Amino acid sequence: MPFNLNAILRENIKNLVPYSSARDEFKGEASVFLDANENSFGSPLPQDYNRYPDPLQWELKHKLHRIKGVPSEHIFLGNGSDEAIDILYRAFCNPKVDNVVIVPPTYGMYEVSANINDVEVRKVNLTADYQLNVDGIAEALDQHTKIIFICSPNNPTGNSINPLDIETLLVNFKGIVVVDEAYINYSKQKSFTYSLHEFPNLVVLQTLSKAWGLAALRLGLAFASKEIIEVFNKIKPPYNINQATQDLVLAALENIDTVNEWIKQTIQEREILVTNLLALPQVHHITPSDANFILVKFDQPRALYEHLVSKGIIIRDRSKITLCEGSLRITVGTKNDNDRLLTEIRGFYN
């Protein structure tokens, strides 16, 4: 059966009359704007912030189109990926009725957002080598399953998910398959944005919080069919991306060469860190990473974590998480950061 967006949308969203802002009703050029109750005198800043921003951020999307190769009408921008995740629930999942599938160990926000929206979460653990249990997922689905969340490269394990397995889900599941590519810039895998035309039920999430170094600005990207993007635009708060963020991101996108250089260096540093850690007898395993972090199985993980904290070095204790027993997650830092980390880890075990 072909994918039918209307069949999986919530009734209230299908029938929603969206908020119509002053900037929606009049979009053209003019010299006197007295339509939005803004302050016509200006803003108490060197730059003008007295006018409401473009609700659909077209200038930014056109620039992202040139970088990502995805047409502007297929892009949604959110206040972090977290906003896109929340909107997915509000678009498709009826509280107390519908459910979603997540594949632990994975990013925590899918479950938190489900809980906020009072939506059931069905968990189908990854396999021992952190790949999809495709049969297990198939068994977990029912008439009320609306979304499957896949994170690739996966947080906190760092590996990419086999794209053929993701395609199997996209072809056979009549709900939405979300592929969260927060770490795609570090990956050898091709982005699923190149497959958008093949799969009408695909939503790809990316973010400027990681490789682009803009976590504080909060800009998340969702790529999907025009129809799905239109639904997101109906639900989102009218001015969800503020003008300061739009201005700063437009400027940041000019510096793609710097970002690409950082990506190269991060991957180099990651491999150096892996080599040095694997030389320690107290390191049992490092999951091959396609991201800017590694998941490392250590002797005495909690004690090591606390030792590092006492030395002013903070990593992430994942040792109590399903399938991550004994493991700590380490973000790849600068050469200097990583050298300090290695020194303190060696110091702990000696």
Ligand X SMILES: *Cc1c(COP(=O)(O)O)cnc(C)c1O
Q: List contacts with ligand X (CB under 6 A).
A: 80-82, 107, 151, 155, 180, 182, 207, 209-210, 215, 220
Q: How far is the CB of 342 from ligand X (least distance, A)?
A: 24
Residue number with CB closer to ligand X (150 or 231): 150
Question: Judged by CB, which is closer to ligand X: 107, or 232?
Answer: 107
Quick one: how many helices (H) and strands (E) in the chain? Answer: 13, 11
Among residues 78 and 345, whose Cβ is nearest to ligand X? 78
Residue (95 or 213) nearer to ligand X, CB? 213
Q: How far is the CB of 278 from ligand X (least distance, A)?
A: 24
**DSSP per-residue codes, 30-57:** -S---SS---TT--SSSS---SPPPTT-
Specify whether the CB–CB gap between 338 and 265 falls below 8 A.
no
DSSP 237-293: -TT-S-HHHHHHHHHHGGGHHHHHHHHHHHHHHHHHHHHHHHTSTTEEEE---SSSE
Q: How far is the CB of 69 from ligand X (least distance, A)?
A: 20
**Nearest residue to ligand X on Cβ basis:** 80
* Minimum separation from the CB atom of position 329 to ligand X (A): 10
What minimum distance in Å lies between the beta carbon of 159 and ligand X? 13
* CA gap 182, 154 in Å, rounded: 9
| Angle value at C-alpha 13, between 7 and 16, nearest 5 degrees | 130
By beta-carbon proximity to ligand X, the closer residue of 215 and 279 is 215
- Closer residue to ligand X (CB): 180 or 269: 180
Report the relative pairing of strands 293-298 and 283-286 from DSSP bridges: antiparallel
β-pair type (145-151, 176-180): parallel
What is the greatest pairwise CA distance in the chain? 72
Rounded to a whole number of angstroms, the minimum distance from the CB of residue 45 to ligand X is 26
